[in-house]
Amino acid sequence: MVLATALPLILCALIASKFIAARFSLLFRQKLPPGPSTLTRILDSQSNEPMAVKLRRWSQTYGGIMSIMDFAHFGEPTIVLSTVRAALDLLDKKGSIYSSRPRNILAGEICYRGFKGPLQPAGDRFRKFRTIMNTALGVEASKSFRSIEDFENKLLLRDLILEDDSGKHRPCIRLPYVPLLVHASITWVQSILHFPPAQKNFSFNTRGDLVDHFPILLRLPKLLQWFRMKARKQGEKEERFFSDCFNRSKEAIDRGQSVLGAITPALGKQERFGWSNSEIAGILSSPYIAGVSTTRGSFDAFISAVLLKPEVMKKAQAGIDSVVGDDTMPNFEDSHSLPYIRAIVKETLRWRPPIALGIAHATTEDDVYEGMFIPAGSTVIGNIYAITRDTEVFPEPEEFKPERFIDNPDPIFKNYNLTFGFGRRICPGQHIASDQLFLFVSRMLWAFDIVPLESITKPSSQMHRGPGSPAPPPYKLVPRREITRSMILEHAIDAERELELWESYSWDDATK
Ligand code: HEM
C-alpha cells in the first residue's frame, strides 16, 4: 500500500531530477549573457534608485543584453535588453518566440482568472485578444474615437483654467480626464463626468508576490492559501463592474444602437472564439490596466519639458499661430501642418516613457543571439528607459530635443514607437494615446503660456526618476489671448452637452 502511494511520487521525482539535471547542464555548457552576480546585486540593493535606472547602470558594465539569475527561477533567467538594436532584433524580429508573458500567478491566474489580456501568455487566447484589440484600436479604427477625445480635451482645458483661478497648485493632470479607455475597452455607457479615478480602484499589485516566486504554495489546501482571498475579492469586484458595463453595452447594441469600442468586434467573433460573456468583459477591460495612468503621465511629462525648455514652447507656438487662427483651436486636421508639434509628442514619449520597464515578455523556445544562450521560459525585459537613452540612436538623451524627429527618414524616428513596447505585444492603444497627446500639446500651447512658479534650471532628481512620469514642478497657465478664456468655457459647454448623450455609470454604483 505504502509502496503503491510512494511509487508514482518516486517516478515523478526521478523524471523531474532528470529534467532539472539536463537543464542545468545545458545552462552551464551554454554561455548566458553576462550580468551582475548575486553578491553584486545584494551589495547594490542599498541604493534606492528606481529599478529601470539601476538596470541601465548595470548595462553600462555588462552590456546591452544582460542576464540575471535568481534562486526562485533558476534555469529561467531574466534577460534585460538595454539597446535599440537588441530590443528590435529579439522582441520584434524574433517575435514568434519572444511574445509570451512570464507566469503571473496572483494577479493573472487567481485575481483575473486568466482573462486579462496584458498578462496572458502566448497561445490561442492571446491571439484572439490581439485580434480584437487590433481591430478596435488600429490606425483607422482609432480615428473613430476622435470626437470623444475632442470633447474630453475641451473639458480638461476648462477645468485647468478654473483650477488656475482658484490659485491651488496642481500637482499633476488629474486622472478622470483620460477615461477614453472606458469607451475603447468596453462600452460607450460611461460618462467621464461621473467616472472616478480608475487607477484608485485598479491598483492591484500585479507582480512579485510570494506565490509567484514559490508556486509550490499552490499545493497548500485552498483554505490555507492566505493570499488567495484578497486577490479573488478584488477580481470579483472588477468582474462585477465590467460585466455590468458589458451587459449595458450589449443591451444597447440589441436595441439597434451603434456602439463604439472593442465590444462590437468582440461580439461579432464571440461564437467563433467560444467566449462567455464574462470572458469578453474581462478581456476587453484590459486597456484599463495599460492605458489610463500612462496617457496622463505623458501629459505631465510634456508640461515638465516645456517648463525646462521655454524655447521649445515659443517655437511651437509660432508654428501653431502660423497655421491656426486666434479664434479656432488646433484640431486633428491640422496635424499635417504642425510637424514640430508631432515631434514634441514623440520626444515627450521618448524623454519620459511612462512604463519605464515595459511589460515583461517571455520566451517560448531556446534561442542563441550573438553567441549568447537565451533559454525557453526566460523573462525578457525591454528596459524602455534605457532603450530610449541609447546614445547610438539618441545622442544627448537627457536633453528634450524635438528637433531630432524633424525630417529624419530613419523608421525609428519616422514611426517612433519604442515607448509603446515591442513586437506582437506592442501597445494596441498607441494610436489613441498619440492622438490624445497631440490634441493636448497643440491646444495647451495654442491657449496658454506655461510658466514656472519658481525658477528651474535643470530637472529635479524627482523628474529624473525612471518609472512613470513624475509630477511637474509648480506652474501657472497664462492665457495667450483675451478671448481664450471665454472660448474655452463656451466650447466646454458644448462638449458637456455632447457627452450627456453618453449614459453614465460609475464604479461606486457597480460595487456598492
Ligand atoms: C502614453 C500612453 C501609453 C503608453 C506609453 C503605453 C505603453 C505600453 C507598453 C510599454 C505596453 C507593453 C508592450 C509590450 O509588452 O512590449 C503596453 C501594452 C498595452 N497597452 Fe498601452 N500604452 C499607452 C496607452 C494605452 C492606451 C490608450 C490603451 C488602450 C486604449 C493601451 C492598451 C494597452 C494594452 C491592451 C496592452 C497590452 C498588450 C498585450 O499584452 O498584448 N495603452 N502599453
CA distance linking residue 117 with residue 417, whole number of Å: 20
Mutate to test the pocket of ligand 1, among 351, 427, 437, 438 (most ligand atoms within 8 A of CB): 427
CA distance linking residue 290 with residue 408, whole number of Å: 29
Domain count, the chain: 1
Least confident span in 22-31, 57-66, 77-86, 399-408: 22-31
- Mean pLDDT value across residues 307-333: 95
What is the reported pLDDT for 175?
Answer: 47
Q: Is 477 helix (H, G, I), strand (E, B) or coil?
A: strand
What is the reported pLDDT for 200?
Answer: 43
- Nearest atom of ligand 1 to the alpha carbon of 117: 40
The label of the residue with cell 502511494 reads 5
Residue 386 confidence (pLDDT) above 90: yes
What is the reported pLDDT for 163?
Answer: 78
CA distance linking residue 246 with residue 189, whole number of Å: 9
- Mean pLDDT value across residues 106-133: 89
Long-range own/partner contacts, residues 266-275 (CB < 8 A, 24 or more apart): 266/132, 266/136, 269/128, 269/131, 269/132, 273/128, 275/128
**CB of 420 closer than 6 A to ligand 1?**
yes
* 426 Cα to the center of ligand 1, angstroms: 7
Q: Cα 309 to the chain's mean position, in Å?
A: 26
C-alpha cell of residue 211: 506565490
Cα 503 to Cα 96, 154, 163, 498: the distances in Å are 42, 19, 26, 11
Determine, yes or no, domain membership for 60. no
What is the reported pLDDT for 501?
Answer: 62
CA distance linking residue 358 with residue 379, whole number of Å: 12
- Mean pLDDT value across residues 457-478: 66
- What share of the chain in percent tops pLDDT 90? 44
Residue 30 confidence (pLDDT) above 80: no
Range with top average pLDDT, 24-33, 152-161, 193-202 = 152-161
Least confident span in 141-150, 177-186, 241-250: 177-186
CA distance linking residue 389 with residue 366, whole number of Å: 29
* 498 Cα to the center of ligand 1, angstroms: 28
Quote the pTM value: 0.88
459 close to 308: Cβ distance less than 8 angstroms? yes
Determine, yes or no, domain membership for 4. no
Confidence band for 384, pLDDT divided at 50, 70 and 90: very high
The DSSP symbol for 34 reads P
Confidence band for 218, pLDDT divided at 50, 70 and 90: very high
- Mean pLDDT value across residues 48-64: 91
Range with top average pLDDT, 106-115, 202-211, 320-329 = 320-329
Q: Find all residues with CB under 8 Å of 187, minimum gap 6, and list them.
A: 245, 246, 248, 249, 259, 261, 263
Mind listing the pLDDT tens digit for each residue in 484-511? 999 999 999 998 887 766 555 454 555 5
**CB of 433 closer than 6 A to ligand 1?**
yes
CATH number, position 279: 1.10.630.10
The DSSP-derived string for 350-383 is HHS-SSTT---EE-SS-EEETTEEE-TT-EEEE-
* 35 Cα to the center of ligand 1, angstroms: 28
CA distance linking residue 102 with residue 105, whole number of Å: 9
What is the reported pLDDT for 457?
Answer: 63
- Mean pLDDT value across residues 160-187: 58
Instruction: Name which residue leads in pLDDT, 192 or 286.
Output: 286
Domain coverage including residue 295: 94-353+388-511
Confidence band for 254, pLDDT divided at 50, 70 and 90: confident
What is the reported pLDDT for 176?
Answer: 46
Flag whether 245 is marked binding. Answer: no
Determine, yes or no, domain membership for 23. no
C-alpha cell of residue 212: 509567484
- Nearest atom of ligand 1 to the alpha carbon of 130: 41
**CB of 142 closer than 6 A to ligand 1?**
no
Mind listing the pLDDT tens digit for each residue in 259-277? 777 888 888 899 999 988 8
306 close to 449: Cβ distance less than 8 angstroms? no
- Mean pLDDT value across residues 279-292: 75
Confidence band for 94, pLDDT divided at 50, 70 and 90: very high
Residue 435 confidence (pLDDT) above 90: yes
Confidence band for 198, pLDDT divided at 50, 70 and 90: very low
- Nearest atom of ligand 1 to the alpha carbon of 434: 1
Give the chain's mean pLDDT.
82
Instruction: Name which residue leads in pLDDT, 103 or 80.
Output: 80
Instruction: Name which residue leads in pLDDT, 365 or 295.
Output: 365
Determine, yes or no, domain membership for 10. no
Determine, yes or no, domain membership for 263. yes
- Mean pLDDT value across residues 412-431: 96
- What share of the chain in percent tops pLDDT 70? 77
- Mean pLDDT value across residues 368-388: 95
- Give the type of residue at 7: L
- Nearest atom of ligand 1 to the alpha carbon of 421: 16
36 close to 68: Cβ distance less than 8 angstroms? yes
Residue 460 confidence (pLDDT) above 50: yes
Determine, yes or no, domain membership for 414. yes
Residue 464 confidence (pLDDT) above 80: no
C-alpha cell of residue 65: 543584453
Mutate to test the pocket of ligand 1, among 125, 129, 420 (most ligand atoms within 8 A of CB): 420
What is the reported pLDDT for 402?
Answer: 98
CA distance linking residue 378 with residue 83, whole number of Å: 18
Cα 151 to Cα 190, 241, 452, 487, 490: the distances in Å are 14, 25, 28, 14, 12
Residue 246 confidence (pLDDT) above 50: yes
Residue 187 confidence (pLDDT) above 50: no
Determine, yes or no, domain membership for 58. no
Mind listing the pLDDT tens digit for each residue in 337-348? 999 999 999 999
What is the reported pLDDT for 206?
Answer: 44
**CB of 393 closer than 6 A to ligand 1?**
no
Determine, yes or no, domain membership for 473. yes
C-alpha cell of residue 62: 555588462
